Amino acid sequence: MAKIFIYPMTSLILSDMVARFGHQPMGSALAIRERIQTPSVESPPLQITPEEPKKGLKYAAVEVPSGVRGRMAIMGPLIEEAEAAIIITDADFAFGCMGCARTNELLKDLVRNRAIPKLELRYPTSEEEGDRFVAAIREFLESLREGG
Amino acid sequence: MKEYRPILVGTVTKYVFIESSKFTPEELALKAYEISKGMMIKETCFGLQVTGMPEEVNELIGRIREFDPSHIFVKDRGFPPGDPRRCRANLGGARPGFHGHEYEIPLLPYVSHGLETPVERTSEPMKVQRKEKLDIWTLKRKMEEA
């Protein structure tokens, strides 16, 4: 079982596909769960304390907004831990109330620069594309299993 | 500053989405209750939320998937159900994660179709070619040639 970084990190489809084919999806829920289940100082809504933007300095410079660094403190360790990655390139919904465009750019850049197997896809818009979408994920995840 | 005491420590919460013509979320919730061992199960408009210890939840999810494997989708959730920081009963409006689900749920029938299509009948797997960006040296050469 390999740890697969998924982008968008909240994707239902990718999370399900990865788990269905026997691997562990590395989505944002894991990091959020860890934070909200750890006793500390109350800091709603996500238990992001002033410590997180400091930890985010590992991934982004000090002049980068603290929102980006705070997000990177959650998501960066998941990228480091991941053994492979699946990225959906046209996930426009990951920007806006769902997330931060600059963090998303940084996340994708970090993943693309890591020497791990990567698969880039688009969301399916028809049944035929759905077939090709699932086939690509199945082939990618099975190749990871064969590769050990 | 106030001390934070987490609840349901050590548990996991998973969303179960159902996009099936065989079951409604209500029927799935009843079936899940029958096979669960005292886990917290919450029925929603799109399926269920299951909360419990990781091994128990994984076992239950495995059995729920068997009801309609290609039309039941599962993902992790960070917060437990009803958490006042996320539950729309306290906040009003849509739960933030709803917008992601709203985008992806209409695409689930295509994914279900892909899961039901035998591998040998599938055309070539999807490949996305990234557009190569113009590098500065090529730009410089083109400017000098012009």
Query: What's the confidence (pLDDT) of residue A125?
Result: 95
Name A68's bridge partners.
Answer: none
Write down the ipTM of this complex.
Answer: 0.92
- Residue B143 forms part of a structural domain: no
**Rounded Cα–Cα distance for residues A117 and A123 (Å):** 20
Determine the pLDDT at residue A48: 86
- CB neighbour class for B6 (10 Å; exposed up to 12, middle 13-18, buried from 19): middle
- Let me know if residue B33 belongs to a domain: yes
pLDDT exceeds 80 at position A97: no
pLDDT classification of A147: cutoffs 50, 70, 90:
low
Token readout for A38 is 């750890």
Would you tell me which residues 32-91 of chain B have a C-beta closer than 8 angstroms to some C-beta of chain A?
65, 73-79, 83, 85-86
* pLDDT score for A145: 82
CB distance A17 to A137 below 8 Å = yes
In which domain, by residue range, is A59 found?
Answer: 3-147
CATH number at residue B60: 3.30.70
Average pLDDT over residues A124-144: 95
pLDDT digits (tens, 9 = 90+) for A29-57: 999 999 999 998 888 888 888 888 999 99
Range of the domain at B32: 12-119
Query: Sign of the CA dihedral A84, B100, B133, A120?
Result: positive
* Higher pLDDT, residue A91 or A84: A84
* B144 domain-assigned: no
**Among candidates A33, A43, A136 on the partner chain, residue whose Cβ is nearest the Cβ of B125:** A136
Assess contact for A70 and A56: CB atoms under 8 A.
yes
Nearest to A16 among B9, B12, B74 (CB): B74
Mean pLDDT of successive 10-residue stretches along chain B, which has 146 residues = 90 95 92 91 94 95 94 95 86 84 95 92 84 89 93
Query: Which letter does DSSP use for residue B36 in this model?
Result: -
Q: Is residue B105 part of a domain?
A: yes
Reported confidence tier of residue A148, pLDDT bands at 50, 70, 90: low
Q: How many structural domains are present in chain B?
A: 1
For A138, other C-beta atoms within 10 Å of its C-beta total 18
B107–A13 C-beta distance less than 8 A: yes
In a domain, B107, yes or no: yes
d(CA B71, CA A44): 35
Q: What is the mean pLDDT of chain A?
A: 92
The answer to the question of residue B78 being in a domain is: yes
Alpha helices in B1-146 (DSSP H): 25-35, 54-67, 88-91, 98-104, 108-116, 136-145
Minimal CA separation from A17 to chain B, in Å:
8
Contact with chain A for residue B118, Cβ under 8 A: no
Could you give the CA distance from residue B101 to residue A100 in angstroms, rounded to a whole number? 17
When divided into structural domains, chain A yields a total of 1
Nearest to B103 by CA among A136, A21, A71, A124: A124
What lies within 8 Å, CB to CB, of B63 at 6+ separation is: B35
The answer to whether residue B42 sits within a structural domain is yes
Burial (Cβ within 10 Å: 0-12, 13-18, ≥19) of residue B119:
exposed
Is B94 part of any domain? yes
